[in-house]
Amino acid sequence: MARLLLTGGAGFIGSHTALVLLEAGHEVVVLDDFRNSSPKALERVQELSGRSLDLVAGSLGDPATLERAFGGGLYSRGGAIDAVIHFAGLKAVGESVRHPLLYWDVNVNGSRLLLEAMDRAGCRTIVFSSSATLYGMPERTPIVETDAVRPINPYGHSKAAVERMLADLCETGADWRVASLRYFNPVGAHPSGRIGEDPEGIPNNLFPFVSQVAVGRRPELQVFGSDWPTHDGTGMRDYIHVMDLAEGHRAALDTLLREPPQLLTLNLGSGRGHSVLDVVRAFEIASGRSVPYRLVDRRPGDAAETVADPSLAAERLGWRTSRSLEDICRDGWAWQQANPSGYR
């Protein structure tokens, strides 16, 4: 059992991972300023697991918040942090193009401040939320970890910069244990329908958009590009159920804490691609609702197909995905139906 700090632990992926870690018997401390999440997610995580977690409410950019997280002793049980899972950050590609300095500040500077606080506290084990976005326009698919890192937007650059910072720390000989996990497309929800993704405003990603159309919150889905070289002309992505992803974090932590200090850089994906229209059809079957859509032009910067080769994660972590597109749609729909306005 370890005492774990989850930055951004109230968010979509963080809340599901907090649940999996509590159920595995770990102690969980969440640091979050709720800029893109709700404290209700944490209430529900505690209700589902039957266990309590500690909360340090505040921002990564605030030194006093970091001080409290690493042993200021203000939270109930106290004790040293054994490892950090670093989810906190901004993730909207379009926003990053409009406000690049915000992304360099929150994602890169925020990570630097966190790593400094960890170093001061003598905690040198971290799992970092990286992204397949850093591969940019991949030359081939499935993508392996040694393929070129060539981000095409500030969000992707911020993830690549933090990966670089972590790799540099591993070169210092100070026994850092680091896993940079490059997520493909995290979707779905906990099967209870009690926690799930709750995007503010118009969703940036396909799944929340499709479920909001199915539930009647939005009139139709726009499908960007119908002339890609794929089986039905629409773009293909590797969708990973958020519970598979949460279990991948537990496996990465177990590996880091068990093995000698190392740097792991791993794709977390299913290894299978589904087109936009595959998703629409699977969602219609799961929900029993129709999802009206309109085919429009391609968006600049999109790729035809982005699919992970997840074999290195299978080899190093003994982990692979076990949930299907049907499971993703069923669980995502259960969440959407029970919470049509998210946590609000």
Ligand X SMILES: NC(=O)c1ccc[n+]([C@@H]2O[C@H](COP(=O)([O-])OP(=O)(O)OC[C@H]3O[C@@H](n4cnc5c(N)ncnc54)[C@H](O)[C@@H]3O)[C@@H](O)[C@H]2O)c1
Q: Does residue 321 belong to the site contacting ligand X (CB under 6 A)?
A: no
Count of residues of this chain found to bind ligand X when the rule CB under 6 A is applied: 27
Burial 139-157 (b: 16+ CB within 10 A, else e): eebbbebebebebbbbbbb
- Separation between Cα atoms, residue 136 and residue 85, nearest integer Å: 24
Instruction: Tell which positions 16-45 bind ligand X, by CB under 6 A.
Output: 32-37
Q: Does residue 13 belong to the site contacting ligand X (CB under 6 A)?
A: yes
Site string for ligand X, 221-260 (x = CB under 6 A): ----------------------------------------
The dihedral built from the CA positions of residue 192, 188, 92 and 246, taken in this order, carries a sign that is positive
Instruction: Please identify, using beta-carbon distances, which residue of 124 and 159 lies nearer to ligand X.
Output: 159
> Residue 40: enclosing H or E segment and its boundaries?
helix 39-49
Q: Does residue 87 belong to the site contacting ligand X (CB under 6 A)?
A: yes
Q: Which of 151, 186, 188, 271 binds ligand X (CB under 6 A)?
A: 186
Amino acid at 262: Q
- Separation between Cα atoms, residue 258 and residue 319, nearest integer Å: 15
Q: Which of 39, 61, 71, 193 binds ligand X (CB under 6 A)?
A: 61
- The least distance separating ligand X from the CB of residue 133, rounded to whole angstroms, comes to 7
- The least distance separating ligand X from the CB of residue 275, rounded to whole angstroms, comes to 18
- The least distance separating ligand X from the CB of residue 217, rounded to whole angstroms, comes to 18
Spatial contact of 328 and 241, defined as CB atoms under 8 Å apart: yes
Q: Does residue 332 belong to the site contacting ligand X (CB under 6 A)?
A: no
The dihedral built from the CA positions of residue 32, 37, 38 and 44, taken in this order, carries a sign that is negative
Residues across the chain: 344
Q: Does residue 91 belong to the site contacting ligand X (CB under 6 A)?
A: yes
Whether residue 142 has a cis bond before it, omega within 30° of 0: yes
- The least distance separating ligand X from the CB of residue 272, rounded to whole angstroms, comes to 17
Residue 239 is among the residues annotated as catalytic for this protein: no
Q: Does residue 88 belong to the site contacting ligand X (CB under 6 A)?
A: yes
From 182-190, 209-217, 229-237, 307-315, give the range in contact with ligand X by CB under 6 A. 182-190
Instruction: Tell which positions 122-181 bind ligand X, by CB under 6 A.
Output: 129, 131
Instruction: Please identify, using beta-carbon distances, which residue of 175 and 302 lies nearer to ligand X.
Output: 302
- Cα–Cα–Cα angle for 134, 137, 143, rounded to 5 degrees: 70
Instruction: Please identify, using beta-carbon distances, which residue of 32 and 163 lies nearer to ligand X.
Output: 32
- Separation between Cα atoms, residue 288 and residue 328, nearest integer Å: 15
3-state secondary structure of 30: strand
- Separation between Cα atoms, residue 226 and residue 235, nearest integer Å: 8
Instruction: Please identify, using beta-carbon distances, which residue of 102 and 295 lies nearer to ligand X.
Output: 102
Catalytic residue among 135, 155, 183, 239: 155
- Separation between Cα atoms, residue 153 and residue 7, nearest integer Å: 24
Site of interaction with ligand X (CB under 6 A): 8, 10-14, 32-37, 59-61, 87-89, 91, 106, 110, 129, 131, 183, 185-186, 205
Active site residues: 155
